[in-house]
Structure formats: C-alpha cells, structure tokens
Amino acid sequence: MTPSARLSAAIEILGDIEARRRPAADALKDWGLSHRFAGSGDRAALAGLVYDTLRRRASARWLMDSEAPRASLIGMLVLQRGETIETLDALFSGERFAPEPLTEDERKALAERKLEQAAPDIQADVPNWLWSSFEAAFGEDAIAEGRALAERAPVDLRVNTLKASRDKLLAELEPLHASATPLSRWGVRVPLGPDGRSPAIQSEESFQKGWFEVQDEGSQLAGLVAAARPGEQVLDLCAGGGGKTLEFAAAMENKGQVFATDSDKRRLAPIHDRLARAGVRNVQVRTPRGSLPIDDLDGRMDLVLVDAPCSGSGTWRRSPDTKWRMRPSSLADRQKDQATVLKAGARAVKPGGRLVFVTCSVLPEENDASVKAFLADHADFTAAPLSELAKGAGLSAFARFGSSGGTGLQLSPHRSGTDGFFIALLHRA
C-alpha cells in the first residue's frame, strides 16, 4: 500500500470505530481480515495512524473545526507528526487510492486556528467531563500531563533476577539500543523504532530463556514499594497475568510463598507459562470458583497487594481509545469495586503486616479518595509517609511524586516518565 492508500484506509477504520462505538483493536482486526492483500507492514502502519489519531482526537477535531474521521486524521498529521500543507497536498491528491484533495474549509482551518486558543481540556486531549479531576491531580501541569499521555510509550522490561542481572540483559539487548530505566533498579527501556513501532521483543532469545518480562517501569516501582522479602507470605489479590507475582517471586529469591488469584480466571490464564519460563517455584495460583479462594489466608499475610480495578486512565498512551469510551458512571462503579477488593485484602493482612493499594489511574476519585474511604472504615490501618515508600524503593526522588491527596505516590508520563500509577502503602497495627 502507498502512504496515501494507508491514509484512505485509516479514514475508513476511524469511521467504523465512530459509527459502531467499538474498540479500535476490533475495527483494525476486521479491516485486516477483509483486506488480506495488506501486509504486516501495512497493518502496523494503519494501527499507528488510527491510534495516533485517537490520541489527539479532541485537539485534532478542534484544529480542523470538524468531527469527521478525515478531519481528525488530518489534524493528527499536523499536530502529532508535523506534516505541512505541502506534504498534505502530496498525500491527499485524489489520485489512485489516495484521499480527496484538501478542501477550502480544511485549508482555512489549518491556516487560521491555533491550538493555544482552545480550552485546556482540548489542548490536553482529555475528555471534558474528566478535566476537573485532571486539574485536581496535576494542577498547573494538567495540560502537560494530558499531552504526555497522548504520546507513544516506550517498551519497558523488568530483568528476572532469578536468571540474569540487568547488566547481562543490557549487553544482550544492545542491538536494540536498550538502556537502564532511570527509576527502577530492575528496569530496562527499549526505544521505539524509527517508524514508531515497538520491537518484537518477545522473539528475543533472552525472553525465551526467561531473563525478562515486559512490565512498565511504574508497575515495577509498585513492586519495589511493596518490598516483598525472602520467606514472607504474600497475596497478590488481583494478579491478572502475573506481572507483579513474578516480580515478588524474584525479590523473594523463590523463598516463602506467593498466593496469586484474580476474580476473573481468564485473566490468570497466561500466568502458568510465565511462571515456568521465569523459573519461579514459590507461587501458588488459586483459580476462582465463583468467589475469591482466600478465606483460609485471613490474618496470615505479611504483604497483600491490591492491584485494584480502575479506569485505566494511566495507560492512555497504550490504549488511547479507552479514554473516549469512558463514561461518568464508570468511576462510581470502579470505586465500589475497589472498596470490595480492599476489604477482602485487608482481612488477609496479619497484625503488623502491610497492604499495598495500586491503580493504573491518574484520577483522584480512584486513588486518594478510595484510600481515605478505606481508612475511615478500618481504624487499624494507617497510610505510610512518602519517606517510607521512598526507602522501600531505594529512591529519594519519590518525594516529588506525592499524590494531590497526600495518601501515596502518583506517577505519570510527564512527572516520572512512566505510565500513570498510584501507589499507597498501608500498615495494619
């Protein structure tokens, strides 16, 4: 496919997403199935065009003074990729498979409208109904944070210290220009390729050997704050695919016990292969049968991790379409879910033990507010000060990452160079 033909296809896919209100991944998959002539490079380029347009949907629409899929794509090409009128004219030629030439209205919008004149939520590409929450979280940095969440994310890896060291992994991945992450002592960062594509990292021999797992640096920091120690009893209550379970097992040097479970057994499916590849021997996976199978763990755990259900607003760099599909009612629903899982996790913490509450969200309603509501109902728990979280992670820099409500850490792309994560450490008396 030519670059112009890819633009025409992207407009078609964006129209399908808009008309049917469906996830971008589904629309891209269906387009690929019905256009089998498109090669892997074409499909990757189309995904980049579609996701970049969704990243900048609000600002692109404002710039073009139109909500049409074509206008959104043109606005993104200018705002995100720096295209000029001259390059757009070459791409939008109206010739074989190319989009129709720019209209006079489109040219006028590009010439006259400047993004700095738009409302703050539009400049930040944040849904309008969420803007007050965004400002509450980040204050004067809210626009910068929104823009950072509209960029593509690098690929972060966590070295599996049961099998390798970070220096050993860095040497192995030198051809990919890998570097140490600035905050996590276990992290390795691989930049995107010149075309913006992620490298095929899971095809590397070192991955097959179990030397590393793909895990954002912010998620790694949550594990560092939790500070699982050899010999402890640990419960990963919302384990999902097992990223933090694996992190705990490595930190514990395969000593002690990690119990991993999740309310949805489908999310647990990948964990078994990952445990085997990583050489982990101290994890017991508990598959739910209608309810969480943890009643026998009440009051026994040194550490309980609650990686709580949330909006996923901190992962907009990776899933940009989700921010436009969010609805106000979803925040209230997630808060109820969080209260339920926190209550279950608290029961498992032994006296003197610790409960770590984590979300991949940047919204105070799902973070500080949930912690404060929990503490109000559980007088035997207290929130640890930032200095203790920093000590556990070995990072004095954590002091500048305090959340707006003061109950934990708020990581974000602009602030810490990671996905958006909230981390609170709670002690049981």
Do 203 and 232 fall within a single domain?
A: no
Is 30 annotated as contributing to ligand binding?
no
Do 25 and 77 fall within a single domain?
A: yes
131 falls within a domain = no
Query: In what side-by-side order are the strands of the sheet with 179-180?
Result: 179-180, 187-190, 155-159, 212-214
Do 80 and 181 fall within a single domain?
A: no
Q: Which residue in this structure is represented by tokens 């901190």? A: 314
Reply yes or no on whether the pLDDT at 395 is more than 90: no
Do 180 and 163 fall within a single domain?
A: yes
Do 359 and 222 fall within a single domain?
A: yes
Whether pTM exceeds 0.75: yes
SS3 178: coil
> 245 is written with which tokens?
């379970």
129 falls within a domain = no
Residue 213 near residue 157 (C-beta atoms within 8 A)? yes
Confidence class of residue 123 from pLDDT cuts 50, 70 and 90? very high
What percent of the chain clears pLDDT 70, i.e. is strictly above it? 100
- How far apart are the C-alpha atoms of 159 and 378, rounded to whole Å? 37
Residue 263 near residue 312 (C-beta atoms within 8 A)? no
Do 196 and 238 fall within a single domain?
A: no
Do 58 and 174 fall within a single domain?
A: no
Do 203 and 297 fall within a single domain?
A: no
pLDDT one-digit tens code per residue, 1-24:
999 999 999 999 999 999 988 999
Do 277 and 415 fall within a single domain?
A: yes
Q: Which residues are catalytic?
A: 360
Residue where one domain finishes, among candidates 94, 118, 142: 118
Weakest mean pLDDT among 52-56, 118-122, 150-154, 286-290: 286-290
Is 307 annotated as contributing to ligand binding?
yes
Report, as an integer, the average pLDDT of 93-119: 95
Residue where one domain finishes, among candidates 185, 214, 243: 214
Do 159 and 98 fall within a single domain?
A: no
293 falls within a domain = yes
Reply yes or no on whether the pLDDT at 370 is more than 90: yes
Reply yes or no on whether the pLDDT at 195 is more than 80: no
Confidence class of residue 400 from pLDDT cuts 50, 70 and 90? confident
Do 86 and 166 fall within a single domain?
A: no
Report, as an integer, the average pLDDT of 48-77: 96
Q: Identify residue 66 by its one-letter amino acid code.
A: S
Reply yes or no on whether the pLDDT at 198 is more than 90: no
Do 276 and 364 fall within a single domain?
A: yes
pLDDT one-digit tens code per residue, 206-252:
999 999 999 999 999 999 999 999 999 999 999 999 999 999 999 99
Query: What is the CATH classification number for the domain harbouring 185?
Result: 3.30.70.1170
The range of the structural domain enclosing residue 389 comes to 217-428
Reply yes or no on whether the pLDDT at 44 is more than 80: yes
pLDDT score recorded for residue 414: 96
Helix H or strand E segment including 79: helix 69-79
Q: Mean pLDDT in the chain?
A: 94
